[in-house]
Structure 1
Amino acid sequence: MSQQQSDDRKPAASRKRQWFREFPDPMVLIFMVLVVVYAMTFFVPAGEFAREVVNGRSRVIPGSFEYLSDIANLHFFRVFVAIPEGMINAAQFLFIVFIAGGLFHILKGTGALENAIGIAAYRMGAGNSIKSRNLIITAGTFIYGFFGMAVGAENNIALVPVGVLIAAAIGCSRLVGVTMAVGGIAIGFALSPINPYTVGVAQSIGELPLFSGWWLRSLMMLTCLATLAAYICLRVVNIEFKDDQPVEMSRKLKDYALSRNNLAVLGIFLAGLVIMLFGVFTRGWYIKEIAGNFLLMAILIGLASGLSANQLVQRMMEGASSVTAGALVIGLAASIQVILSDAHIIDTIVHSLSAIVGDMPVALAAVVASVIQGVINLFIPSGSAQALVTMPILIPLADLVDMSRQLMITAFQVGDGLTNLFTPTAGGILAMLALGRVSYAQWLPVILPIMVPLYAMCWIALIVAHYIGY
């Protein structure tokens, strides 16, 4: 028997495994974080800032932090009670994943989206060369980045499966499509020059013109999107991805065509997206309204494709069941904030971290401020809520250390935004991963390596910005 045959007959468990498959299940991973956070409640003292309402918004009063002495330690059973409470708190994210899963299952059944992407990919030369494949990936990354910049993160949840189909059309794995879509959306949102949720709130607190200093954020966003696109083309396309439900094009690209019914279905889908954007920009729509819009789109698309009421419900249930695991991860992650809130240690963590910046050189302080905001983002995952909590503290601090308010706000945006790409408490990103059917454990080893150059470029930009008087 040859050595090669002997090696082939070795048990699979004894062969060298890919390192990214050694990550624990996402449920295990997040539960471990939950236990660590619970342990923190025993040595991080409870504390609280006083707050005031300004222009209808609650904000922290600088210098008002006080420790609380009457907060009892949490019982260990509270860890398990926090999990269903977290699911209740994150219900809007869970249900948009279920509804969007149903919508795309119905849409997939019509074949309209696959046909449209097949035609577009064929006309762009997909499959003819690595160059054309990389061109499509790069264009897709920037398009998703634009949507993240202009529309926001959670508002683009429905577009993640489109990225998966684009990846299938160019012969790549689901992982490539999800990295292109989720990474592009998250970077576009994180470094958006016109982000109303983070920059808008922070600049209103800092009394700066709305979206001023846009050019630096635009430069960082475009540079980071280009870096992500190169990373996907050079590395992610070559990662061996274990996919229980691989997406493959059903025919050769040249054979795709759109029927009248396909055109009607795509018309309903695009009209639904336009209505969603109109609601977001003019009516203040958020997750609940967007989920309702998705549900209406699913019903109309099902009826247009000839489904009966019973068939429509069955397809919705099948689609929802396919994303159940990912939706439950979102609820489990939300339990982390339940423990932090019950123990009253969020304000203590914010107070302690913000005090670190005071005695540093200004350029270094800007970088450290972004790191601190990233840590805080784990405990306060909402960008606007984080701005309301931290900016009343950091804006006066910026004045004291002779740092421009604009630079402090940009440091806040970098720390808050980029962290969403990997933090387990970012409900919107977890919802996108669930819809793309890439688990959190599969996502981390892929996204973490690219975070190093992304942060490095943004930190260099912050340092240079200080020295040029930004």
Structure 2
Amino acid sequence: MPDTLVIIFFVALAAMLLTYIVPVGAFDTQEIAYVSDGVEKTRSVVDPESFRYQIDEQGNSVKQPVGLFEGGGGVGFFNFAFEGMTSGSKWGTAIGVIMFMLVIGGAFGVVMETGTIDNGILRLIDKTRGNEGLFIPVIFTLFSLGGAVFGMGEEAIAFAIIICPLMIRLGFDGITTVMVTYVATQIGFASSWMNPFSVAIAQGIAGIPVLSGAGVRGLLWAGFTLMGIIFTMRYGAKIRKQPQLSYCYQSDQYFRDHQSSASLESRFNLGDILVLLTILSSVVWVIWGVVTQAWFIPEIASQFFTMGIIVGVIAVIFRLNGMTVNRIATSFKQGATTMLEPAILVGCASGILILLGGGKPTEPSVLNTLLSGAGSVIGQLPAVFSAWFMLLFQSVFNFFVTSGSGQAALTMPLMAPLADIVGVSRQVAVLAFQLGDGFTNVLVPTSASLMATLGVCRVDWGAWLKFIWRFMLALFIVSSVVVVTAHYLGFN
């Protein structure tokens, strides 16, 4: 598959070509009233019945073709990347979301540099040996939390290298290792209430309060995590009883031939405990601020920046991983660097929106015309089917763009206003995005993280497909029920 940025480039090219074909149009907006926390509020939304084409003096519909270059701050095709990255404000897309991502990445870069997360997992592995009944649920929950809180995904690859030989030694197999590491992170990623790489970005793009609906998503995370634990434990119990039933029994022979009795040792002291308490208290503090003080992107970014500083100071005092003041700065920059790729994707994808005329419904644009056309098709269906088709669309689209932030940047600028048109709340549209995007990461061969984890566990993707399709089907069915129920209950 081509790189996500390559896909975005050709989507931008297609967007430019559309401006030569599709006439521009605009909507009117209307104020709607809704109740939040017992208080009646209003919100401006698109009036789906008000669409009209822009016409010239002769009464013909008008097109606004985009050229290759445009000076004076205008928008041309080769301007789209820069214009996209610098669009918006600190309160939202794109510049606000990009800066939010860089600050969050830097803060968690400091956290990861302390080694507390790594050593905590190793310590847990060591302590639970001999008590296999707790091993799978504890490890699965831990990795799911990692996916939910800070978008853990690629990090699971390194842990799979460590955990896989231990799982084989305990009577499980390589597939079980993939389940408790990478799959667990994607369960958390998909159902997260605060993942900065998916739900936070999607909500920011959709124009709804970042981290809103955390209570509902927290319950979903618990339910989907429990679902994954039960599925994995049942499979693990079957393999321990009859190892030959494993889909990767032959490839597991490598680990059986290289078993080691060496114990796992890891550092875990008062400093590590203080780091974990700082992370936990920061998460609780941010949720409180969002719910009670209406914090948005600037405030949330500032709180996590503060968390990174506090964690760094603790690490220096307790000499965690030999941390120094200079290493705090270095790890922050390295953590922010890891966010450059998704930040660029968000900016470039925002440029596509600009090529199509921008996201303002009251200004004539190609995007408004496309939304009106899509709305007229989907709008013929009951709103609940529209919500479900959003889930289906995001699930299929993830085959081509496996980056959560990249997919959010590409799809949410379209899905959010479309949700207004068809009568689906933007919160439900975000929910459909995160469930569709996250869960299919455990299946699609275009996911580099999945293929790498399968590789270190020596599990062939064909064998993995034979195993995981049942779980994927169950996830999709439950996700469909969740999205439909959320729509009927007015999740907003």
Asked if these proteins are the same fold (TM beyond 0.5), I'd say: yes
CA contact (8 A) 1:370 1:414 kept: no
Alpha-carbon distance in structure 2 between the residues aligned to 1:452 and 1:179: 14
Work out which of the residue numbers 50, 53, 71 in structure 2 matches 1:64: 50
Letter in 2 for 1:59: V
What's 2:353 paired with? 337
Alpha-carbon distance in structure 2 between the residues aligned to 1:219 and 1:178: 19
Alpha-carbon distance in structure 2 between the residues aligned to 1:175 and 1:75: 49
What's 1:15 paired with? none
Deviation of 1:99 (Å): 2.7
Quick check: 1:99 aligned with 2:103? yes
What's 2:10 paired with? 32
Listed as ranges, the matches of 1:9-408 within 5 Å are 23-54=1-32, 55-68=41-54, 69-77=61-69, 78-89=76-87, 90-125=94-129, 134-136=136-138, 138-140=140-142, 143=145, 156-157=149-150, 167=160, 170-171=163-164, 177=181, 179-187=183-191, 222=223, 226=227, 254-306=264-316, 309-342=325-358, 344-357=365-378, 366-367=384-385, 370-371=388-389, 381-382=411-412, 389-390=417-418, 393-395=421-423
- Aligned partner of residue 266 in structure 1, secondary structure: helix
Alpha-carbon distance in structure 2 between the residues aligned to 1:273 and 1:220: 15
Deviation of 1:83 (Å): 0.7
- Aligned partner of residue 73 in structure 1, secondary structure: coil
Q: Alpha-carbon deviations, 1:41-91, whole Å to 9, x = none?
A: 333332221012344421122411111234521113322211112222423
Alpha-carbon distance in structure 1 between the residues aligned to 2:349 and 2:330: 29
Given the superposition, is the C-alpha separation of residues 218 and 355 from structure 1 closer, same or farther in structure 2, using an over 3 Å criterion?
Answer: farther
Q: Alpha-carbon deviations, 1:256-304, whole Å to 9, x = none?
A: 2422222233332322222222222222223332221222122222222
CA contact (8 A) 1:118 1:253 kept: no
Alpha-carbon distance in structure 2 between the residues aligned to 1:352 and 1:261: 58
Letter in 1 for 2:141: A
Identity of counterpart residues, as a percentage?
Answer: 22
Q: Higher mean Cα deviation, 219-228 or 114-123? A: 219-228
Alpha-carbon distance in structure 1 between the residues aligned to 2:337 and 2:201: 32
Alpha-carbon distance in structure 2 between the residues aligned to 1:414 and 1:221: 15
Given the superposition, is the C-alpha separation of residues 219 and 256 from structure 1 closer, same or farther in structure 2, using an over 3 Å criterion?
Answer: closer
- Aligned partner of residue 357 in structure 2, secondary structure: helix
What's 1:10 paired with? none
Alpha-carbon distance in structure 2 between the residues aligned to 1:181 and 1:61: 40
Alpha-carbon distance in structure 1 between the residues aligned to 2:31 and 2:439: 32
- Aligned partner of residue 448 in structure 2, secondary structure: helix
Q: Alpha-carbon deviations, 1:91-136, whole Å to 9, x = none?
A: 333333333333333223322222222222333449x97x876545
- Aligned partner of residue 66 in structure 1, secondary structure: strand
- How many residue pairs get aligned? The number is 378
- Aligned partner of residue 80 in structure 2, secondary structure: helix
What's 2:171 paired with? none
CA contact (8 A) 2:202 2:408 kept: no
CA contact (8 A) 1:141 1:229 kept: no
* Gaps in structure 2 of 5+ consecutive residues: 33-40, 55-60, 70-75, 88-93, 165-173, 237-245, 252-260, 317-322, 359-363, 395-406, 452-460, 488-492
CA contact (8 A) 1:414 1:458 kept: no
* Gaps in structure 1 of 5+ consecutive residues: 1-22, 148-155, 205-210, 241-250, 396-404, 424-428, 430-438
Letter in 1 for 2:9: F
RMSD: 5.3
Letter in 1 for 2:357: S
CA contact (8 A) 1:121 1:169 kept: no
CA contact (8 A) 2:105 2:336 kept: yes
Alpha-carbon distance in structure 2 between the residues aligned to 1:106 and 1:227: 30
CA contact (8 A) 1:103 1:297 kept: yes
Given the superposition, is the C-alpha separation of residues 329 and 359 from structure 1 closer, same or farther in structure 2, using an over 3 Å criterion?
Answer: closer
Deviation of 1:37 (Å): 2.6
Alpha-carbon distance in structure 1 between the residues aligned to 2:262 and 2:311: 25
Q: Which has the higher contact order (CA 8 A, sep 6+)?
A: 1
- Aligned partner of residue 30 in structure 2, secondary structure: strand
